[in-house]
Amino acid sequence: MRGHVRIGGSKNAALPVLMSSLLTEKDLLVANVPHLRDVTTTLELLGRLGVQIEVDEKSVVRVNAAQVHARRAPYELVKTMRASILVLGPLLARFGEAEVSLPGGCAIGSRPVDLHVKALEAMGARVSVESGYIKAVVPSGRLRAARIVFDTVTVTGTENLMMAASLADGTTILENAAREPEVVDLADCLSSMGADISGAGTDMIEIRGRTSLGGAHHRVIPDRIEAGTFMVAGAVTKGEITLHDLNVRHLDAVTAKLRDAGAEITLGDDQLTVSMGVRPKAVPISTAPYPGFPTDMQAQFMLMNCVAEGSATVTEHIFENRFMHVQELHRMGADIELHGNTAIVRGVDRLGGAQVMATDLRASAGLVLAGLVASDLTTVDRIYHLDRGYDCIEEKLLQCGADIKRVADAALPQLRAVQ
C-alpha cells in the first residue's frame, strides 16, 4: 500500500470534551470532531438530557446545556458505549444529582466504575446501585474537594473526577492520575472554559474548583490510535504511507516498536511517513498506561507479528479478555498460543482469507489489516464495532491501493490482499 492519509480527530478525546458541556450554561464549540458512531451516541445522550446541539459543514459541534431537563443516562444508550459514564461527574457537579446506567451491564466491583464511585463519595456524594443504575446525589448541594488516590490508573476515572472537581468547593488533588494525551486535551478544554487545573499529563493533577464555568472554543487533538493503525497498515503491506495532521509526539511508543520491526519512519512537524520494503521482524509487545505501549494498538501489532519473521510475545496488562481476536486470526492460519494474559505469536509466511467476526473496536481493525495481507478474500462481519472508532477507514485504505469494499447494505467490508 502506498498513499497519503489525513488523520481525523480523536474519538477518545472528543467524547469527554463533549460531555464537559454539561458543566456550563454557555456555548461550547468543539472543532475536529470525528464522524463516528460513538460520537453520534454521545450527542444523542446529551440531547436526551436536554442539551441543544448544532453541527456545521466543517464538523464543528456547538453544544449548549443551558436547558438541561433530565439527569438520567438510560441503559439503551449507555450499553453501547462505556464512555457514557462520563456524564456522572458533570451532572453531579452542576446539578447535585445523576442517574447513570452501569456501562454494558457490568458488575460494579469487576470494572473500574467502582473507582469513579469511591472518588465521588469522597467528594460528598451519596451513591447507590439500584436496578442496574448508579444513583447519586449531593446532599449539601455542592461537591467538596478531596485528595483522591486511584488504586489503578483509570483514564475515564481521571476525566470524570477532573470535570466534577472543576465545580467543587476547594482544591481537589488526583493522585495516580492517567497521563494520556486525551486527559490533557480535556484539561485544556476545561481551562478554556475557566477551570483552574494544573498537572495534567503527570500522575498528579490539581483542580481548584470554581463556582461556574463559561463557554469556549476547543479543537480536538488528532487520533493517535487511528494514526497507529495506518502505520501498521503500511508496515504489514511492505508499503509506504504518509500520515498528515497528527501529533507525532503522541506516537513515540508505536514508532519505536515499528522501527524495531524494520520500518523506516520519517517525522515532520505534523506528519510522518512509514516505509517498509521487507517483511517485518516480530517484536515483543507489553501494554501499559501512557506513555507505555497503548492497549488500543495491541490487536494491530499482534496481526503484524502473525506475518512477521520470527516469534514474539504479546502481553496485555490493561484489560482482561482482550484476546478475542485470536480465535478469528486462527481461522486465517495464524500461529498463536495463549497463556493467560500473554500470547506467543509465531510468524507465518502468509495468512489465508476467511470469513471472520469482529469482537470489539480494535480487534476489528486488526482483522481488516489481516485481510490486507491474506492470500484470498476476507470478509469481516459485525463491523459496527469498526465504525465506533474509525471514520471511513475503507475509503482511506482505498486511497492507498487496498482492494476493499462494503457489501450487504454497507454492513460488511470485503478485502483482498494488497499485491
Q: Which residues of 261-283 are buried (b: 16+ CB within 10 A; e: fewer)?
A: bbbebeeeeebbbbbbeebbbbb
DSSP annotation of 359: -
Measured CA to CA, the distance from residue 94 to residue 168 in angstroms comes to 9
Q: Which residues lie across from 304 on neighbouring strands?
A: none
Measured CA to CA, the distance from residue 247 to residue 386 in angstroms comes to 23
Closest-CA residue to 299 (of 379, 356, 240, 245): 356
Closest-CA residue to 179 (of 150, 212, 147, 220): 150
Measured CA to CA, the distance from residue 296 to residue 287 in angstroms comes to 9
Answer yes or no: 392 catalytic. no
Q: What is the 3-state secondary structure (H, E, C) of 23-59?
A: HECCEEEEECCCCCHHHHHHHHHHHHHCCEEEECCCC
Q: Is 219 exposed, middle or buried (0-12, 13-18, 19+ CB in 10 A)?
A: middle
Residue of 106, 189, 306, 400 marked catalytic:
106
Cis peptide before 291 (omega within 30 of 0): yes
- Which residues form the catalytic set? 106
